[in-house]
Amino acid sequence: MSAHAQMRAMLDQLMGTSRDGDTTRQRIKFSDDRVCKSHLLNCCPHDVLSGTRMDLGECLKVHDLALRADYEIASKEQDFFFELDAMDHLQSFIADCDRRTEVAKKRLAETQEEISAEVAAKAERVHELNEEIGKLLAKVEQLGAEGNVEESQKVMDEVEKARAKKREAEEVYRNSMPASSFQQQKLRVCEVCSAYLGLHDNDRRLADHFGGKLHLGFIEIREKLQELKRVVAEKQEKRNQERLKRREEREREEREKLRRSRSHSKNPKRSRSREHRRHQSRSTSQERKRTRSKSHEKRHRHRSRSSSRSHQRSRHLSN
């Protein structure tokens, strides 16, 4: 049994029964319309966000690791252009998430106490620094888990600098509004994952959010969407160039056929014309020969008659 077949058998055993309850996995090809092309490219939101607050549940299309393995092998020999299907899927999903983000932002604007544009800009600065701190802390935890202590310490130094900037920004924001209003929790909607962030969130809360599976999952999906857009654009451009090249080749062949056809239609006339000229030349030559022959015969008969009369006169004189 080949290594690929062994892997398929192992995956079948691990997968167990299929979604429709059959005792064996549903036997379909990866190119089937029922198969999730985003899953084949390892970017389906149902997989990426599984186990998060926004768990989407089971995808309506077939997810099968064995089919993904089949696709990865076959795609080395043939381009199936599944990137277009996956791009459309992710684009629709992100567009829906962005609409929900705008709705959440509008709801916040309606429920929270209105503040001037100047104060809002100061609050936004605090939110930006919160985001920076959260991302840095998430990176520190990742580096620590990888055992990269030295690099982790360098990032912590950046965290301390960001914390100092945040304290200054909070002081500016606090001095721009009444104390009672400052104590209210000012919320903000995360532009990446649509989660709510508080202006006064502590470091632990920020690290949990920006290093959490939900936020990182959305980053992965958004980055994958941009990659798919680039790949699709490149492949479409390549296909357009190939179609243009084939069309130019067909047009060139058609022009060549037309040229040959015209050349063929003209050649018989030229041949007949040359043959006609040769025939006329032969006829003229033969006519000249006949004329010269007749002339020669006339001269011969004339000489013969002249010789006969001269002979007769000689005989007459001799008598």
Residue bearing tokens 């389906």: 44
Give the pLDDT confidence score for residue 124 in this predicted structure.
85
* Three state DSSP letters for 123-138: HHHHHHHHHHHHHHHH
Q: Which two tokens stand for residue 98?
A: 């962005």
Q: Is residue 198 within a helix (H) or strand (E), and if so which, with residue range? A: strand 196-198
Q: Which two tokens stand for residue 10?
A: 């192992």
- In this structure, of 72-76, 130-134, 173-177, the range with the lowest mean pLDDT score is 173-177
How many residues are present in the chain?
319
101 to each of 98, 104, 195, how far by Cα in Å? Answer: 5, 5, 8
Residue 48 has pLDDT above 50, yes or no: yes
Q: Which two tokens stand for residue 97?
A: 């998430």
Residue bearing tokens 């050349």: 263
pLDDT band, very low/low/confident/very high, at 30 (cuts 50, 70, 90):
very high
User: 3-state DSSP: the chain helix, strand, coil percent, rounded to 5?
Assistant: 75, 5, 25
Residue 191 has pLDDT above 80, yes or no: yes
Mean pLDDT of the chain: 81
Task: Show the CA angle centred on residue 81, arms to residues 75 and 83, nearest 5°.
Answer: 105
Cα separation, 149 vs 172, whole angstroms: 35
pLDDT band, very low/low/confident/very high, at 291 (cuts 50, 70, 90):
low
Largest CA distance in the chain: 179
Are the C-beta atoms of 241 and 235 separated by less than 8 Å?
A: no
Domain ranges of the chain: 7-19+27-111, 115-219
Are the C-beta atoms of 54 and 47 separated by less than 8 Å?
A: no
Cα separation, 24 vs 13, whole angstroms: 9
Residue 273 has pLDDT above 80, yes or no: no
Tell me what the mean pLDDT of segment 146-153 comes to.
91
Are the C-beta atoms of 289 and 296 separated by less than 8 Å?
A: no
Give the pLDDT confidence score for residue 298 in this predicted structure.
59
10 Å Cβ neighbour count for 136? 23
Q: Which two tokens stand for residue 14?
A: 């691990």
- In this structure, of 110-119, 241-250, 271-280, the range with the lowest mean pLDDT score is 271-280
Give the pLDDT confidence score for residue 246 in this predicted structure.
93
Residue 5 has pLDDT above 80, yes or no: no
Q: What is the CA radius of gyration of the chain?
A: 48
pTM: 0.67
